[in-house]
Amino acid sequence: MIARVYFENFLSFEKVDLEFEKGLMVFTGPSGAGKSILMEAFLSLFAYKEAKAKIGEIVIENQNIENENFMIEQGDDIVLKAVKKDKVRYFINNQTVSKRNLLEFSQTLVKFLHLKDTSDFQSANLIAFLDKLAAIQDANFAQIKEEFDTCFAQFKATEKKLLKIQNDEKQLEELKEFASFEINKIAAIDPKVEEYEELNSLKRSLSKKDKIQDAISSASAIFAHTHTVSQALELLEVDSGFFDEAINEVNNQFEKFNDSLNELEEVNIEYVLDRIEKLSSLQKKFGSIQAALEYKQQKEQELASYENISFEKVQLQKEFKQLQETINHSCEQLTLKRKEAAIELTKRINHYLEQLYLNHAIVELVPIPMDNTGKDGVNFKLNGVNLQTISSGEFNRLRLALLTVMSEIQIVDNGILFLDEIDANLSGKESSAIAKVLSQLAHSYQIFAISHQPQLTASATGHFLVDKHNGVSTVKKLTQEERTAEIARMISGENITQEAKDFASNLLK
């Protein structure tokens, strides 16, 4: 239970420091005093709302919670704290925690019920709750649900592949034609790696052939005078070996060119230029000859896959059929367990509806097209009619019954419930019925509620008045005498009558 709460600088509240006991804690006060703001401050420390106080701290005692991540053992006090500077930082027992992890931790401890939110009646949410109830009733349910989840994921993946193949089949001839065209276009050129560079080198040699020939012809005159150079070196008593080697090397290079000249004479220059142009077009399109060859290989593989698509389709259809049979069996098992849970949920809800002066509710499963929860939807009826046709008062009390049952399942024993204006716009009889249910529930849970009706307020274990003067909100716990005056104000308004005081005293007795 919450033992203490402390806030500083929270909107119209300068400071709040309150202590609580187990049971039903009710907050009342004039409109605009700050009751909802105060409730939001409480919820912000559990990450249900945005933190707006400069400092907020809440102390929780006597909870049967164990959490290794936050080093919490059974019986330990739990201190939740939020500090707002440039940003909000959250703490559990002085250990920094993200808002997301704080909310995940809080949801096992705290339930926030507000009548404006009707999502709990949505079929998907009711199915999720029935699954929790089924898991409590049957230890094997968790395994059944896990097997369904795994099979459903495989089923959807196979279905996606099969749909793709079926769509591909419609375009198969076009895809085959395109792949073949791309393959043949590259195959017709039949490029080789490094061929482009080699042909360009050959092209450069051809363009310089005549110039080289003229230069060699002019330079060859040197060979007629080599003996005179050798004689001069001998007269100088210098070894002419270096000169002889140089002349031999020059002669070798000239002869080497003359040998290649024969090959160049045989080269078809038009073929070389045409080949270079084709290879250049591939280079421009793919970036390199290597990339063009890789693209060709990719298209060949695609063409092969198109040829095998019929075989793959048959295999996938077979796999899809097997998965259908498996998942249908899993859905049947889920439906069976959920029906049992629906019977238990109906029983629990009607337990509270009897006290709320309502006729019996029925929670029944209805078949729906399969989704990620199975093939079950939920149909909720009150006294044999759909919820769309019942009055707002009936709906609010039915909702309270449902949420009360949910709280018993979803949060730990000795948990904490927050109720936002649970008795708003109700008659005295309806408000008395709600007060009776909450008073019973308060034996198991600590409940925090904003109330506008004297019946629920008079049932409170702790009564707190929220008031506002000169723009500053305050909250304090009321004495028995102060409670009588506040309940009388709720009955007759600011001009409190003696009849209102007497009625308030009787309610409190």
pLDDT digits (tens, 9 = 90+) for 162-193: 888 888 777 777 777 888 888 898 888 888 88
Of residues 321 and 253, more confidently modeled: 321
Backbone angles phi, psi at 451, to 5 degrees: -130, 145
For the chain, domain boundaries: 1-109+411-478, 173-309
Indicate the residue type of 206.
L
At the fourth CATH level, which superfamily is domain 1-109+411-478?
A: P-loop containing nucleotide triphosphate hydrolases (3.40.50.300)
| Residue 292 to residues 142, 300, 301, 413, Cα–Cα distance (Å) | 54, 12, 14, 70
Stretch among 148-157, 317-326, 440-449 having the lowest mean pLDDT: 440-449
Asked if pLDDT for residue 55 goes beyond 90, the answer is yes
The DSSP bridge partners found for residue 18 are 5
Stretch among 173-177, 278-282, 455-459, 483-487 having the lowest mean pLDDT: 173-177
**What percent of the chain has a predicted confidence (pLDDT) above 90?**
39
pLDDT the model gives residue 117: 66
> What is the gyration radius of the CA atoms in the chain, in angstroms?
44
Of residues 388 and 295, more confidently modeled: 295
- Token pair, residue 435, equals 């007060």
Range among 6-15, 243-252, 302-311, 409-418 rated most confident? 6-15
- How far apart CA 341 and CA 474 sit, in angstroms, is 46
Asked if pLDDT for residue 265 goes beyond 70, the answer is no
- How far apart CA 424 and CA 397 sit, in angstroms, is 11
Of residues 187 and 108, more confidently modeled: 187
Of residues 401 and 423, more confidently modeled: 401
User: Cβ neighbours of residue 266 under 8 Å, at least 6 residues apart?
Assistant: none
Please provide the size of the chain in residues.
509
- How far apart CA 65 and CA 321 sit, in angstroms, is 46
pLDDT in tens, 60-77: 987 777 777 888 887 788
Closest CA to 283 of 195, 180, 184: 195
Stretch among 136-145, 181-190, 193-202 having the lowest mean pLDDT: 193-202
Q: How many CB atoms lie within 10 A of CB 242?
A: 10
Q: Confidence class of residue 200 from pLDDT cuts 50, 70 and 90?
A: confident
pLDDT the model gives residue 263: 62
Q: What separation, in Å, do the N-terminal and C-terminal C-alpha atoms of the chain show?
A: 26
Burial (0-12, 13-18, 19+ Cβ within 10 Å), 169: middle
The DSSP bridge partners found for residue 264 are none
Burial (0-12, 13-18, 19+ Cβ within 10 Å), 125: middle
Residue 471: left (phi > 0), alpha (psi -120 to 50), or beta?
A: left
Q: Confidence class of residue 400 from pLDDT cuts 50, 70 and 90?
A: confident
**Residue for token digits 């149909």?**
379
Rounded to two decimals, the pTM is 0.61
Burial code (b: 16+ CB inside 10 Å, e: under 16) for 257-275 equals: beeeeeeeeeeeeeeeeeb
- Token pair, residue 413, equals 């024993």
